[in-house]
């Protein structure tokens, strides 16, 4: 009770000070922020506002203005549109399937590489190198790897006497083929984050535990993993958000096929807005995806805050 | 409280000369704003850099957009080089953009934003979409005649297709159908060639299956028709066979679906049978399909005629012919590249005349274009002996007169929703992932959904 009573006047005082100072130094501060703020307003806030507005109209890409007022008709159509929900499900499925290997494998490789004392640079480079390639390049590489008849992977399966699995032509397999591509392509980023996390763990902790007689395995399990906790949270949050935004590699490798089995939510938005020219409808779809990503981000934020309080 | 409020005022009053740090920051901040503002005020030069407006060099600039890459691109560049040589006063700025949706999206948005190119290439099948919202400049026949182009100079079917609701909106450059490529060495080995070394025309489903089975016995892939990452090719195969049976898809500019269930199922069953018997390989993308045929691993290749240059460069023993008449007639899916004048923000008769002269000049060079496989729409070239001697490109010349174009709808045409949705279902039937009946149902449902959507044009 006393603390609350004490705090109240302090905050009011603080607020008044801030208001009073606004005429002076804050202007130059705004000036410094301006290059960022202008771009932020122009390329993030304004598009978001326009997105909300356009989602309420039958806006067309090729007609001037917002078009006729649609009210909530776009949203009503969207909630009954199986094509949209199918695409949303692909995005979620991709996130569910791609996140575990991208987190666990990068952790595994980081711990393994961190133990290598000689030539560590080579392994660091090897795991990180694919990440710097543009999506168009990895799409080309993997399309050829998967190509039946010529592809390296396909040839390998052939050698083992397994029939061609139809990596990109089987509706039940294509999304997993894309997951494999993505793991190979982007694992380097998580790998580097984990490697940095590992190098922050002080040596003394390991020394102390060895003196106490802890085995290597026990050290990894009871020391390394818990001390990487915050890195893991960061990696998982970044990974989930990145996976929810899946588009490039799918668009380039399968264009959403076969038979839309790999079309993600963003590709649905792209197709609706830019092929069907229905920008209003596409805006409604992108707003729904935005809300989903926002909810996921908030849930993670809450989890992180709870973790930090502990 | 009151003391707090007075603090800043007192500070400025009692220390009027302490401007060093804060003053510097304020000045620097203001400078940052000024720099951004200055960047914006200089848009004229930036804009002229992007749109290619004349910057006083005395040359007139003609901006030309197209979506022609690969072999088509190099042939178009050869034709442009001829134009540049013969018109030294014009600075031709040619821009190649990515095929399909990306190109049409950019063209639509640039035109809507008031900075369109002076001339652009457009598939005639996309006119239904660009015509209604007024994105194209209608061309009067008198104006065309003034620039040496008359309706009788063009393949009638292509010229008529470029006509929309009483306006001529485009000038056709070619007709490009789905054709059959065949490897002469492999077909000879299977005993399929006649005495002149040609593959005789194939008529009817039984005859086609017999040919494919004979090829299969020799241990090669009988026919390759790709569909991975390529709904268009799957669509072209279906639409060819469906049109041969006289089928129609939509009416009322796309508002009514009249898909013929019996015929569509028959076509899909035939496709499915070829896949099930291992006669047709479809689990490849366009590069993979081309590679299979180029390497001599596949005897037949069903694809548009535009890959001809690839196989000639690869010294492959091959020839080309019209797509077999499987279901009655030998019509085949086709589209036409056309020249269009996107709607300009302000009428400029001089620029329009310059653009039409350029189009007429390029049409005159259609023989170069024909080398890439396309059937010239410009009859003064199509009728020449030089074109008839061009083999195997002129083998399928007559298909231009019975081309099956995509039906008119706002969602039809090259790289459109109709091709994408239907092609996705057909492609899955081609790899055995869907039964013919299920493929038909998915296609029907996609068309029904599209036909009921809010028309955005």
Q: What is the 3-state secondary structure (H, E, C) of A175-230?
A: HHHHHHHHHHHHHHHHHHHHHHHHHHCCHHHHHHHHHCCCCHHHHHHHHHHHHCHH
How far apart are the C-alpha atoms of A275 and B228, rounded to whole Å? 19
List all residues 6 or more positions away from B267 whose beta carbon is below 8 Å from its beta carbon: B238, B241, B242, B245, B247, B327
In chain A, whose CA is at the least distance from the CA of B443?
A: A259
Counting Cβ atoms within 10 Å, is residue A192 exposed (0-12), middle (13-18) or buried (19+)? middle
Of A34-43, A59-68, B251-260, give the lowest mean pLDDT range.
Answer: A59-68
- What per-residue confidence (pLDDT) applies to A170? 85
Residues in B closer than 8 angstroms to A55, CB to CB, are none
- pLDDT reading at A167 higher than 70: yes
Of the listed ranges A13-27, B191-205, B211-225, the least confidently predicted one is: A13-27
Distance of CA A33 to the CA centre of its chain: 27
| pLDDT of A270 strictly over 50 | yes
Chain B residues within 8 A of A86 when measuring between CB atoms: none
Residue holding tokens 């590679």? B291
Angle at Cα A250 formed by Cα A245 and Cα A254, nearest 5°? 160
Read off the pLDDT of residues A171-180 as tens digits, 9 standing for 90 and up.
889 999 999 9
Q: What is the pLDDT of residues A46-71, one digit of tens each?
A: 999 999 999 999 988 888 788 889 88
User: Percent of chain B, pLDDT > 90?
Assistant: 71
Tokens 């940052």, residue located? B32
| Confidence label for A159 from pLDDT (cuts 50, 70 and 90) | confident
The mean pLDDT of chain A is 86
Q: How confident is the model at residue B59 (pLDDT cuts 50, 70, 90)?
A: confident
Q: Is the pLDDT of residue B6 over 80?
A: no
Cα R_g (chain A), whole angstroms: 25
Question: What's the pLDDT score for residue A310?
Answer: 58
> How far B142 CA sits from the closest chain A CA (Å)?
29
Q: Per the structure block, which two tokens stand in for A221?
A: 């399990």
Residues facing B257 on adjacent strands: B250
Residues of B in contact with A27 (CB under 8 A): 26, 29
Token pair listed for B1: 């409280």
Radius of gyration of chain B (CA): 28
What confidence tens digit (pLDDT) does each residue in B19-58 have?
565 555 555 555 555 444 444 443 334 444 444 444 445 6
Q: What is the pLDDT of residues B357-381, one digit of tens each?
A: 999 999 999 999 999 999 999 999 9
DSSP-derived 3-state class of residue B328: coil
Specify the range with the lowest mean pLDDT, choosing from A185-194, B29-38, B160-169, B250-259: B29-38
Across the interface, do B291 and A150 touch by the CB < 8 Å criterion?
Answer: yes
Q: Which residues of A touch B219 (CB under 8 A)?
A: none
Structure tokens at B236: 């072209």
Q: Mean pLDDT check: name the lowest of A233-237, B82-86, B208-212.
A: A233-237
Chain A residues inside the 8 Å CB shell of B434: 259
Closest residue of chain A to B111, computed from CA coordinates: A62
Contact residues, chain A, for B127 at CB < 8 Å: none
Residue B201: pLDDT band (50, 70, 90) is very high
d(CA A182, CA B101): 25
Rounded Cα gap, residues B112 and A168, in angstroms: 37
Instruction: Please give the average per-residue pLDDT across B416-430, as a whole number.
Output: 92
What is the pLDDT confidence band of residue B116, given thresholds at 50, 70 and 90? very high
Q: Break chain A into its structural domains and give their ranges.
A: 81-309
C-beta atoms of B416 and A275 within 8 A: yes
Q: Which residue of A has its CA nearest to B285?
A: A147
Q: What is the pLDDT of residue B43?
A: 39
Is the peptide bond prior to B60 cis by the omega test (within 30 degrees of 0)? no
A176: Cβ–Cβ under 8 A, 6 or more apart, which residues?
A97
* Cβ neighbours of B383 (radius 10 Å): 11
How confident is the model at residue B444, as a pLDDT? Answer: 95
pLDDT at B178: 97
CB-closest option in A21, A62, A281 to B457: A62
Report CA-CA distances (Å) from B225 to A129, A182, B77: 36, 28, 29
Within 8 A of A17 by CB-CB distance, chain B residues are: 4, 7
Helix or strand holding residue B60 (H, E): strand B60-66
CA distance A80 to A70: 16
Reported as a single tens digit per residue, the pLDDT across A108-155 is 999 999 888 888 899 999 999 999 999 999 999 999 898 887 788 878
User: For the residues of chain A, what is the DSSP string, one character each?
Assistant: -HHHHHHHHHHHHHHHHHHHHTTTHHHHHHHHHHHHHHHHIIIIIHHHHHHHHHTTBT--SSSSSS-SB-TTHHHHHHHT-HHHHHHHHHHHHHHHHHHHHHHHHHHHHHHHHHH--SSHHHHHHHHHGGGGS-HHHHHHHHHHHH-TTT-HHHHHHHHTTPPP--TTT-TTTHHHHHHHHHHHHHHHHHHHHHHHHHHHS-HHHHHHHHHTT--HHHHIIIIIHHHTHHHHHHHHHHHHHHHHT--HHHHHHTTT-STTTT--HHHHHHIIIIIS--HHHHHHHHHHHHHHHHHHHHHHHHHHHHHHH-
**Tokens 């190198």 appear where?**
A129
Q: Which of B129, B228, B457 sits opposite A254 (nearest CB)?
A: B228
Predicted pLDDT of residue B355? 96
Mean pLDDT of A197-224: 88
Which chain B residue lies closest to A171 (C-alpha atoms)? Answer: B433
For residues B278 and B283, give the distance between their C-alpha atoms in angstroms, rounded to a whole number.
Answer: 11
Cβ atoms of B60 and B90 within 8 Å: the answer is yes
| Rounded Cα distance, A13 and A45, in Å | 32
Q: Is the pLDDT of residue B11 over 50?
A: no
Q: Do A38 and B135 touch (CB under 8 A)?
A: no
Contact criterion met (CB < 8 Å) for B105 and A274: yes
The per-residue pLDDT of chain B, averaged, comes to 88
**pLDDT at A9 (0 to 100):** 42
Report how far residue B89's alpha carbon sits from residue B194's, in angstroms, rounded to the nearest whole number.
Answer: 54
Distance between CA atoms of B301 and B282, rounded to whole angstroms? 11
User: Considering only CB atoms, which chain A residues are within 8 Å of B8?
Assistant: 20-21, 23-24
**Is residue B388 pLDDT above 90, yes or no?**
yes
Closest residue of chain B to A16, computed from CA coordinates: B5
Tell me: the pLDDT tens digits for B226-235?
A: 998 889 999 9
Q: Quick check: B84 and B59 in contact, CB under 8 A?
A: no
CA distance B379 to B238: 29
Most confident of A259-268, B43-52, B59-68, B360-369: B360-369
pLDDT of residue B31: 54
Q: What is the interface size between A and B, counted as CB pairs within 8 Å?
A: 169
Give yes or no for a contact between B264 and B443, defined as CB atoms under 8 angstroms apart.
yes
CB contact under 8 A, B29 and A27: yes
Cβ separation B32–A34 shorter than 8 A: yes
CA angle B361, B365, B371 (to 5 degrees): 155
Two tokens, residue A40 = 């932020």
Distance between CA atoms of residues B360 and B369, nearest Å: 14
Question: Residue B236: which of B278, B277, B289 has the closest Cα?
Answer: B289
Residue B91 confidence (pLDDT) above 70: yes
Q: Which domains occur in chain B, in start order?
A: 58-175+336-397 (3.40.190.10), 178-334+406-452 (3.40.190.10)
Is residue B343 packed enough to be buried (19+ CB in 10 Å), middle (13-18) or exposed (0-12)? middle
- Write phi, then psi, for B28 (nearest 5 degrees): -65, -40
Q: What secondary structure letter does DSSP report for B145?
A: H
Residue B172: closest CA among B339, B304, B333: B339
What CATH number should be reported for the domain whose range is A81-309?
A: 1.10.3720.10
Asked whether residue A3 carries a pLDDT value surpassing 70, the answer given is no
In 3-state terms, what secondary structure has residue B6? Answer: helix
- When pLDDT is averaged across residues A261-272 and rounded to a whole number, the result is 93
User: Hey, are the CB atoms on B282 and A258 less than 8 Å from each other?
Assistant: no
Q: Which residue has the higher pLDDT, B156 or A293?
A: B156
Q: What is the pLDDT of residue B26?
A: 56
Facing residues of A103 across strands? none
pLDDT at B222: 97
pLDDT tens for each residue of A7-20: 444 444 444 444 54
Query: What are the CA-CA distances from residue A157 to residues A171, A185, B177, B224 (Å)?
Result: 19, 22, 37, 21
Identify the closest residue of chain B to A173 by CA–CA distance.
B433
Q: What is the pLDDT of residue B36?
A: 46
| pLDDT at residue B165 tops 70 | yes
Q: What is the pLDDT of residue B40?
A: 42
């Amino acid at each position: 009770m006393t603390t609350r009573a004490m705090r109240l006047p302090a905050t009011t005082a603080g607020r008044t000070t801030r208001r009073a100072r606004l005429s002076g130094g804050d202007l130059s501060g705004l000036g410094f922020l301006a290059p960022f703020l202008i771009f932020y307003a122009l390329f993030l806030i304004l598009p978001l506002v326009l997105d909300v507005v356009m989602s309420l109209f039958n806006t067309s890409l090729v007609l001037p203005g917002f078009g006729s007022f649609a009210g909530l008709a776009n949203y009503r159509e969207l909630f009954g549109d199986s094509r949209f929900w199918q695409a949303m499900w692909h995005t979620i499925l991709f996130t569910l399937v791609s996140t575990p290997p991208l987190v666990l494998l990068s952790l595994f490789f980081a711990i393994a590489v961190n133990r290598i004392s000689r030539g560590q640079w080579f392994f660091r480079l090897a795991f990180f190198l694919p990440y710097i390639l543009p999506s168009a390049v990895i799409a080309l590489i993997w399309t050829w790897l998967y190509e039946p008849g010529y592809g390296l992977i396909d040839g390998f399966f052939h050698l083992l006497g397994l029939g061609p699995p139809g990596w990109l032509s089987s509706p039940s397999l294509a999304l997993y083929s894309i997951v494999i591509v993505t793991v190979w392509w982007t694992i380097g980023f998580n790998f580097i984050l984990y490697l940095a996390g590992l190098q922050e763990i002080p040596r003394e902790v390991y020394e102390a535990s060895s003196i106490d007689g802890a085995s290597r395995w026990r050290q990894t399990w009871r020391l390394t993993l818990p001390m990487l906790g915050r890195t893991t949270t960061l990696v998982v949050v970044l990974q989930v958000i990145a996976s929810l935004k899946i588009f490039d590699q799918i668009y380039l490798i399968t264009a959403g096929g076969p038979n839309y089995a790999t079309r993600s939510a963003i590709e649905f938005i792209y197709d609706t807005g830019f092929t069907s020219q229905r920008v209003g409808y596409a805006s409604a779809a992108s707003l729904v995806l935005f809300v989903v990503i926002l909810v996921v981000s908030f849930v993670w934020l809450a989890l992180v805050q709870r973790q930090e309080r502990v | 409280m009151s003391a707090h409020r007075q603090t800043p005022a007192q500070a400025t009053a009692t220390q009027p000369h302490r401007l060093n740090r804060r003053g510097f920051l304020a000045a620097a901040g203001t400078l940052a704003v000024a720099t951004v503002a200055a960047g914006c005020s200089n848009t004229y030069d930036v804009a002229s850099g992007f749109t290619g407006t004349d910057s006083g060099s005395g040359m007139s600039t003609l901006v030309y957009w197209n979506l022609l890459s690969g072999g088509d691109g190099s042939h178009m560049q050869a034709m442009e080089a001829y134009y540049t040589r013969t018109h030294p006063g014009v600075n031709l700025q040619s821009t190649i953009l990515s095929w399909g949706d990306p190109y049409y999206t950019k063209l639509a948005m640039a035109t809507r934003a008031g900075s369109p190119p002076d001339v652009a290439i457009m598939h005639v099948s996309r006119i239904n979409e660009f015509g209604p919202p007024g994105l194209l400049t209608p061309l009067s026949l008198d104006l065309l005649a003034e620039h040496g182009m008359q309706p009788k100079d063009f393949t009638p079917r292509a010229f008529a297709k470029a006509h929309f609701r009483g306006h001529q909106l485009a000038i056709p450059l070619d007709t490009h159908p789905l054709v059959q490529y065949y490897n002469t060495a492999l077909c000879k080995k299977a005993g399929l060639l006649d005495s002149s070394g040609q593959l005789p025309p194939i008529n009817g489903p039984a005859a086609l299956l017999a040919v494919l089975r004979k090829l299969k016995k020799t241990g090669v892939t009988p026919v390759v028709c790709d569909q991975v990452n390529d709904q268009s090719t799957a669509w072209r195969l279906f639409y060819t066979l469906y049109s041969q049976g006289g089928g129609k898809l939509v009416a009322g500019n796309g508002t009514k679906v009249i898909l013929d269930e019996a015929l569509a199922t028959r076509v899909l069953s035939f496709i499915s049978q070829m896949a099930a018997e291992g006669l047709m390989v479809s689990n490849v993308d366009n590069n993979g399909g081309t590679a299979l045929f180029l390497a001599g691993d596949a005897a037949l290749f069903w694809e548009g005629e535009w890959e001809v240059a690839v196989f000639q460069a690869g010294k492959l023993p091959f020839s080309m012919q019209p797509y077999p008449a499987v279901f009655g007639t030998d019509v085949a899916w086709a589209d036409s590249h056309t020249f269009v004048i996107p709607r300009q923000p302000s009428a400029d008769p001089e620029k329009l005349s310059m653009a039409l002269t350029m189009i007429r000049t390029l049409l005159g060079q259609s023989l170069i274009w024909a080398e890439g496989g396309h059937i010239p729409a410009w009859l003064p070239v199509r009728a020449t002996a030089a074109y008839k001697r061009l083999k195997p490109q002129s083998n399928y010349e007559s298909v231009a007169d019975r081309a099956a174009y995509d039906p008119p709808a706002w969602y039809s045409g090259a790289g459109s929703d109709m091709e994408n949705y239907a092609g996705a279902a057909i492609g899955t039937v081609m790899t055995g992932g869907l039964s013919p009946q299920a493929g038909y149902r998915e296609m029907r449902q996609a068309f029904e959904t599209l036909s009921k959507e809010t028309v955005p044009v």
